[in-house]
Amino acid sequence: MNTPNLHLYVLAAPLLTAFAVNLLGRVSRTWIGPLVLGALTFSAGGALMTLLHVLREGAFRYTIGNWQPPLGIELVVDPLSALMLLLVSAVALLATSSALKSVAHELPGREHLFFTLYMILIAGLLGLVLTGDAFNLYVLLEITAITTYGLIAMGSGRAALSSFNYIIMGSIGACFYLLGVGYLYILTGTLNMADIAQILPGLDAPAAIATAFAFLMVGLWVKMGLFPLHVWLPNAYSQAPTGAGAMIAPLMTKVTIYLMIRVMFSIFSPDYTFLAHAGIQAGIVWAASLAIMCASGLALAQRNLRRMLTYILVAEVAYMVGGVWLANGTGITGAILHIVSDAMMTLCLFLAAAAIIYRTGSLEFDRLNGLYRRMPVTMAAFTVGAFSMIGVPPTCGFFSKWYLILGAVRAGHPEFVTALLISSLINAVLFFRIIELAYFQPASDLSRSEPQQAGEAPLLMLSPLLLSAVALVAIGLGSGPLIENIIRLAMPPGFAP
């Protein structure tokens, strides 16, 4: 099955399934599960084959509609995007099988609406990973945004207000991005990333190029929730329905960081990004270091597991932004490896949170008492995820952090090293507090009286959780070959791990 269109079938499968889910789900709910899981399994398999194909034969470009690149829209399938394709489809597959249970529990009667939006969101993320056209990127960014607004607003409590704030911030981000693309279009007359990259160095327009670069970057930073621009993120992600949160949280920010890497290296050259404006590169690393510390500090103040996780997520975003802006091969390797490992560990922790919420109905810290006795398997997986977040050796969190720290040392940014170490320390405090609560404290009488509290989560939630925990260790142990065989090829020209 080695067709040239395979990577597009990966994208088309969830998209077409979304419509099928909407049509058939009205008739009968039983169709939804098999359809969704089948399509995503197909996507994950296709993504794996695409990655193998790229590794074997090298990167290739694909023109939609058979129009030559500056005219038509071009897709870029290089090792980095193929890796992201596999990551997105695998994470989506794991998150979905857990979401099937929790959505039936939280939103009864609206599963078909939920999963239609959900599948389109996955298709949008896969499209974002593949695209090689600056404007197409905006359209896909808006697809992922609109589906996310809808999914978040389906949550209960303050979800509607959080979703509205997200709409305002997300629109600012997208509009800034669009302005940046407009400036580049005026200067170059094309929207194709590779074509822009070819024309830009020959232009004599420093002010306009700098403006375009600034607006593209700020737009993406708003979208990914880099620290001072993060205000919408914790509310939105922690109040979404658990099924949606478990996919949005691991993927949205990571894919946006991937887009930032694309913009920095595929539209602009590394030379321009890092060297054209003195002080910018060092300034952003400083800002990222501050962001890590502030976000970690804010995480300490939270009293709800999912809110705490979202603040850790904000800190992790700053890890990766800082890692990319370290401007050396080791830092960028660390950032790319951290995209993979952070997606997996966020997935693992959010899936554990989903399982806990499915059984106990709450994630407040004082309700977590005695969870190890009641849900041993869930909490074991949670512990693996927590260790990875802290950076304990056999898990992948350690290796990516190691590369980030090594990169920071080589680039001479002690403040970034300090921030990473302090943040790891804070993570250790955060997670050991929970582990202490859940392991040593006896179950409170309050929760004992509830009928639902006994036992583990259902198998459909438990198996993706365990798989993601195993994946954390596997990626950790296999990080050497991963870097050697994939990430080394995915580096921008002129950088080596």
Partner 1 sequence: MKRLQEQARGRDIGDNLIIRTAVRLLVPFIQLFGLYVIVHGHYSPGGGFQGGVILGASFILLALAYDLRTSLRFMSERTNAILGNAGVLIYTGIALLCALLGGMFLDYSALDRLISLGPIEWRSLGIFLVEVGVGTAVMSIMVSLFWDLGSGGEMDEGL
Partner 2 sequence: MKALAFLATLATGIVLLYGTRDFAAWGDAASPASRHVSPVYIERAVKETHVPNLVTAILGDYRGYDTMFETVVIYCAGLAVVCVLRRQKT
Partner 3 sequence: MEPLLSEIVAKYNYWIYVVLMMIGFYAMIGKRNLVKKLLGMNIFQTAIILFYVSIGGKRGGGIPIVDKHAAMLHGVDATTVVNPLPHVLMLTAIVVSVSVTGVALAILIRIYRKYDTLEEDEILEKIGR
Of the listed pieces 140-148, 346-354, 395-403, 431-439, which binds partner 3 according to CB under 8 A? Answer: 140-148
Distance (Å) of CA 34 to CA 42, 93, 263, 360, 465 = 12, 12, 37, 27, 19
**Closer CB to partner 2, 277 or 433, in the complex:** 277
Contact call for residue 16 and partner 2 (CB under 8 A): no
Q: What are phi and psi of 133, to 5 degrees?
A: -130, 130
- Report the nearest approach of partner 2 to the CB of residue 21 (Å): 11
Number of C-beta neighbours around residue 201 at 10 A = 11
Determine the Cα–Cα distance for residues 130 and 125; give it in Å rounded to an integer.
9
Identify residues 45-64 at the interface with partner 1 (CB under 8 A).
62-64
> Least separation, in Å, of the C-beta of 11 and partner 1?
9
Cα–Cα nearest to 315, from 218, 406, 391: 391
Residue 28 or 449: the one with the smaller Cβ distance to partner 1 is 28
Please identify, using beta-carbon distances, which residue of 170 and 464 lies nearer to partner 3: 170
To partner 3, the closest distance from the beta carbon of 150 in angstroms equals 6
Maximum CA pair distance of the chain?
Answer: 73
Which partner, partner 2, partner 1, partner 3, none, binds residue 113 by CB below 5 to 8 Å per kind?
A: partner 2
Task: Give residue 370's region: left, alpha or beta (phi > 0; psi -120 to 50).
Answer: left
Of partner 1, partner 2, partner 3, none, which one sits near residue 379, judging by CB under 5 to 8 A according to partner kind? none
| Distinct helix (H) and strand (E) counts, the chain | 22, 2
Nearer to partner 3, 302 or 341 (CB): 302
Rounded Cα distance, 215 and 249, in Å: 24
**By CB under 8 A, which span of 141-149, 280-288, 377-385, 427-435 interacts with partner 2?**
141-149
- Measuring CA to CA, which residue among 407, 432, 428, 408 is closest to residue 418? 408
81 binds partner 2 (CB under 8 A): no
Tell me how far, at minimum, the Cβ of 127 lies from partner 2, in Å: 7
Size of the site for partner 1 (CB under 8 A): 16
Considering beta carbons, is residue 72 or 376 the nearer one to partner 1?
Answer: 72
In 3D, which of 50, 52, 32, 54 has the Cα closest to residue 42? 50
Supply 207's token pair.
Answer: 């002010």
161 binds, options partner 1, partner 2, partner 3, none, Cβ within 5 to 8 A by partner type: partner 3
Residue 9 partner contact from partner 3, partner 1, partner 2, none using kind-dependent CB cut-offs of 5 to 8 Å = partner 1
Shortest distance in whole angstroms from residue 7 CB to partner 1? 10
Residues 360-399 that bind partner 1 (CB under 8 A): none
Which of 343, 375, 351, 337 is CA-nearest to residue 453? 375
Which of 66/449 has CB closer to partner 1? Answer: 66
For residues 306 and 357, what is the distance between their CA atoms, to the nearest angstrom? Answer: 10
